[in-house]
C-alpha cells in the first residue's frame, strides 16, 4: 500500500495547483452538561425559517460559500449536547439560502493539530475555483493553531468530504513570533495581492490590544508572519472572528475579497470577546504596505458602528459571485441559561442571511434580508395610511403573529414636542433602557408591539423616539424586551441604536422578521439592525398578537404598513 502521507501530499499538490495557489467566541465550559441529550417534545421556541440544526449546540457560522450553484454553510456544532463542547464543523447546503439539507460533519478532530477541537475559520477560492478552508485547531498542548482542509472530490457540488493537509498546523505560536497561544484564532477569507502572494489575518491580542495578525503565502500551504499586524486597536481586548473585505463606493454590488482599486473601500470587523459585541470600521487598505487605516470618524472600538445592536455575534461574510452580492451570516445565541438549554435540547440559531453594502454617504454599511426570504411570505395584509394618535394601540390582524414579516413606515410633520437631547445621552442602549416603551415622550415611543399577549401582559416593543439635537433631529431605535416574558430569570436586555435618518425629510421605516423566539428588526431601510431573543409564556401560537402603537403625546402618521404570515422553511 502506498504511504498515506505521500498520497495526501500528492492530493494537496493537485488541489492547490502549481505556481499560485476561534477559545471561540469564548464560552463557559459546562463539562457535566456537554453530552446530555434532551427528549423534550414541547418546543414552542424553535424557529420556523431561521437556520438551526434539529438539536444540540450551534454557534459561529463558518466558511460560507457558493460552489457549482450550491450554497454551503458550515457551523460550530456540538454533536453530543446543547452546551458548548466537542466542537466540529457541521455542514448544510441550499440552492436558495432558505431551505437547507444537512450532510455529514465536514471537519472534526482527527489530527494532532486539531485533536482538541475544530474551531472557526473561513473559505477561500484558489485559482481554478478550488475551495480551501483555513480553520483554528486546538492541539494536544491546548494551543490555538491554524490548519488547512480541501475537498476530496472537486466534482462533487455538495463538497461532502474534506481532506486535511499533512502540513498542519500551517501557523502556530512559538517563542519567536510572540503570539499568545490562547488568543490566536479564526482566520479570515484570504485575499491575493498584486505580488501573487496570499494574505490572511487571524484574530489575537497582546495585553489588552486587539490585533489582526497578518500572514503571507505563495502556495497557501507555507505561511510567513508579517512584521506588523494589518491593524490593531488599544483597549479592545481579544479580536475574535475578524472579517476583512472590500466594498464598492459606487454600487450596491458585492466584490470578490481580492478586489482593490478605485472606487473601493475596505471594512474590518472584529468580534470583541470582552463585551460580546461586534464593531466594524470603514477605511483604506494600503496593499503595498499591507496596512489598513480607518477613515476619520470611523470609531475603532466597541462604541463604534455595529452590524447589529442586539444578539448577533461571530459573523462572517462571503461573496456570492452568482448574484454579485456580499452576504452576512451571524450567530444568535440564547437568552436562557445552560440548564434550560439542556432541557430544550438545543441552543443557538443563525440570523437570516443579509445582503450588505456601503451606504452612498460612505460612512456606514447597510443591511437587508436576502430577497429569497420573501418567497416564504403568504396572506399579505395591507393597512391604509392612517394617523396614529398619542396613546393609541392598533392591532394588525390577519397575520400569524408568531411567524411574520412586517414592514411599516412612519411620517412626522410636527416636531415641536420633540424632547431635547441631553449631550450626555451618548449610549443608545442605556438611553433605550431608561426610556422604554412604557415611558411617554413627545415624539415617541412609536413602533410595533410584537409577540404580544392580548392584554399586553407580554410584548416585545420595537420603536423609535425622535429628539431635538443641537443642529438636527436625532432618531433613536429601541428593542425593549423588559416585558417580553413572564419568566423572571431570562435575559431581557433592552437594546438601542441611533439611526442616521433625517425625520424632517425622510420617513422612518421599520421591518421586523418575527419567528417564534426571534425578532430581527431593520430600521431606516437597513441602517440600524437589532436582533432580540425572547421567550413569551402567553404570546404563543394563537395567543400571540401584533400591534402598532404610539406612546408619545404627538400624533404620527403610518404612511405604509404591510404584513405577511411566513411559511415554514425546510431546514435540516
Instruction: Give CA–CA dist 411/391, Å, rounded.
Output: 17
Q: What are phi and psi of 239, to 5 degrees?
A: -95, 105
CA dist 289 to 215, 229, 259, 286, 295, Å? 13, 11, 16, 6, 17
Q: Which member of 60, 186, 290, 515 is catalytic?
A: 60
Q: 69 CB contacts (<8 Å, ≥6 apart)?
A: 95, 157, 322
DSSP 338: H
Closest Cα partner for 373 from 407, 338, 340?
407
Interatomic CA distance for residues 134 and 122, integer angstroms: 6
List the chain pLDDT tens, one digit each, 572 residues: 444 334 344 444 444 543 333 344 567 666 666 665 655 667 899 999 999 999 999 999 999 999 999 999 999 999 999 999 999 999 999 999 999 999 999 999 999 999 999 999 999 999 999 999 999 999 999 999 999 999 999 999 999 999 999 999 999 998 788 899 999 999 999 999 999 999 999 999 999 999 999 999 999 999 999 999 999 999 999 999 999 999 999 999 999 999 999 999 999 999 999 999 999 999 999 999 999 999 999 999 888 999 999 999 999 999 999 999 999 999 999 999 889 999 999 999 999 999 999 999 999 999 999 999 999 999 999 999 999 999 999 999 999 999 999 999 999 999 999 999 999 999 999 999 999 999 999 999 999 999 999 999 999 999 999 999 999 999 999 999 999 998 877 889 999 999 999 999 999 999 999 999 999 999 999 999 999 999 999 999 889 999 999 999 999 999 999 999 999 999 98
Q: Which domains does the chain have, with CATH numbers?
A: 55-369 (2.115.10.20), 378-566 (2.60.120.560)
Tell me, rounded to whole angstroms, the distance of Cα 209 from its chain centroid.
23
Residues written for the chain: 572
Q: Which helix (H) or strand (E) holds 342?
A: helix 338-344
60 in catalytic set: yes
Amino acid at each position: 500500500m502506498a504511504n498515506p502521507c505521500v498520497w495526501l501530499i500528492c492530493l494537496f499538490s493537485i488541489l492547490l495547483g502549481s505556481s499560485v495557489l476561534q477559545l471561540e467566541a469564548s464560552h463557559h465550559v459546562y463539562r457535566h452538561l456537554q453530552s446530555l441529550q434532551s427528549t423534550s417534545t414541547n418546543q414552542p421556541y424553535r424557529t420556523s425559517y431561521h437556520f438551526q440544526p434539529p438539536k444540540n449546540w450551534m454557534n459561529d457560522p463558518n466558511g460560507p460559500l457558493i460552489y457549482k450553484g450550491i450554497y454551503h454553510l458550515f457551523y460550530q456544532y456540538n454533536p453530543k449536547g446543547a452546551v458548548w463542547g466537542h466542537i466540529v464543523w457541521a455542514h448544510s447546503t441550499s440552492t436558495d439560502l432558505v431551505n437547507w439539507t444537512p450532510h455529514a460533519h465536514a471537519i472534526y478532530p482527527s489530527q494532532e493539530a486539531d485533536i482538541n477541537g475544530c474551531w472557526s475559520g473561513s473559505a477561500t477560492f484558489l485559482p481554478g475555483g478550488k475551495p480551501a478552508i483555513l480553520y483554528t485547531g486546538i492541539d494536544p498542548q491546548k494551543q490555538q493553531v491554524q490548519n488547512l482542509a480541501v475537498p476530496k472530490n472537486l466534482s462533487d457540488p455538495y463538497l461532502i468530504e474534506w481532506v486535511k493537509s499533512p502540513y498542519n498546523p500551517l501557523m502556530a505560536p512559538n517563542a519567536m513570533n510572540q503570539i499568545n497561544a490562547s488568543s490566536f484564532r479564526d482566520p479570515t477569507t484570504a485575499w491575493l495581492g498584486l505580488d501573487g502572494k496570499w494574505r490572511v489575518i487571524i484574530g489575537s491580542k497582546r495585553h489588552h490590544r486587539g490585533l489582526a495578525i497578518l500572514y503571507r503565502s505563495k502556495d497557501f500551504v507555507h505561511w510567513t508572519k508579517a512584521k506588523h499586524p494589518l491593524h490593531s486597536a488599544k483597549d479592545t481586548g481579544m479580536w475574535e472572528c475578524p472579517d476583512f473585505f472590500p466594498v464598492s463606493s459606487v454600487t450596491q454590488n458585492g466584490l470578490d475579497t481580492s478586489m482593490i482599486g478605485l472606487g473601493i473601500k475596505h471594512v474590518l470587523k472584529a468580534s470583541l470577546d470582552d463585551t460580546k459585541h461586534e464593531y466594524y470600521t470603514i477605511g483604506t487598505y494600503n496593499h503595498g504596505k499591507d496596512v489598513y487605516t480607518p477613515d476619520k470618524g470611523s470609531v475603532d472600538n466597541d462604541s463604534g458602528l455595529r452590524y447589529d445592536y442586539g444578539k448577533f455575534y461571530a459573523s462572517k461574510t462571503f461573496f456570492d459571485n452568482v448574484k454579485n452580492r456580499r452576504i452576512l451570516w451571524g450567530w444568535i445565541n440564547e437568552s436562557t441559561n445552560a440548564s434550560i438549554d439542556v432541557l430544550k435540547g438545543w441552543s443557538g440559531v443563525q440570523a437570516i442571511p443579509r445582503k450588505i453594502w456601503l451606504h452612498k454617504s460612505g460612512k456606514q454599511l447597510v443591511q437587508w434580508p436576502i430577497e429569497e426570504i420573501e418567497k416564504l411570505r403568504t396572506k399579505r395584509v395591507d393597512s391604509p395610511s392612517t394617523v396614529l394618535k398619542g396613546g393609541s394601540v392598533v392591532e394588525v390582524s390577519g397575520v400569524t403573529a408568531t411567524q411574520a414579516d412586517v414592514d411599516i413606515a412612519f411620517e412626522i410633520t410636527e416636531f415641536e414636542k420633540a424632547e431635547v437631547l441631553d449631550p450626555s445621552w451618548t449610549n443608545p442602549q442605556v438611553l433605550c433602557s431608561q426610556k422604554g416603551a412604557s415611558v411617554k415622550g413627545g415624539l415617541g415611543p412609536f413602533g410595533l408591539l410584537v409577540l404580544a399577549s392580548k392584554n399586553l401582559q407580554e410584548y416585545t416593543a420595537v420603536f423609535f423616539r425622535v429628539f431635538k439635537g443641537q443642529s438636527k433631529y436625532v432618531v433613536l431605535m429601541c428593542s425593549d424586551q423588559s416585558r417580553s416574558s413572564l419568566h423572571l430569570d431570562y435575559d431581557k436586555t433592552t437594546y438601542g441604536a441611533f439611526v442616521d435618518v433625517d425625520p424632517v425629510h425622510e420617513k422612518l421605516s421599520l421591518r421586523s422578521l418575527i419567528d417564534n423566539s426571534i425578532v430581527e428588526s431593520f430600521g431606516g431601510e437597513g441602517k440600524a439592525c437589532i436582533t432580540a431573543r425572547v421567550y413569551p409564556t402567553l404570546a404563543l401560537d394563537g395567543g400571540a398578537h401584533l400591534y402598532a402603537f404610539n406612546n408619545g403625546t404627538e400624533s404620527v402618521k403610518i404612511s405604509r404598513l404591510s404584513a405577511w404570515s411566513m411559511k415554514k422553511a425546510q431546514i435540516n
